[in-house]
Amino acid sequence: MNDDHTAADDGPPAPPSDDAVEHLWNAATEFLKAMRALVDAADEFVAEQRHRSGGPQDEPRLRNIDIDVS
């Protein structure tokens, strides 16, 4: 069996590149935006259900949370 692996290859892993960190940051931002859309849709659904059932309309069930992604 031919093994090209040498002892010099056993060093510590290289730190993540800036591109990888930026990619992860963008993915996290997109995830938060998707979760925000899901929460907004759930809030709208609950408000519609409360309206149909004649429930209390003065207080929203969910609080809006502002996420600053800048």
Does 27 have pLDDT greater than 70?
A: yes
Contact 42, 62 (CB under 8 A): yes
| Average pLDDT, integer, range 25-52 | 90
Contact 46, 62 (CB under 8 A): yes
pLDDT class of 61 with cuts at 50, 70, 90: low
* H-only helix segments in 1-70: 18-53
Among 6-10, 21-25, 65-69, the range of highest mean pLDDT: 21-25
Q: Given pLDDT bands bounded at 50, 70 and 90, which one contains residue 32?
A: very high
Which residue in the block uniquely carries the two structure tokens 């990619």? 23
Full-model pTM: 0.51
List, for residues 46-56, the tens digit of each pLDDT value. 888 878 877 66
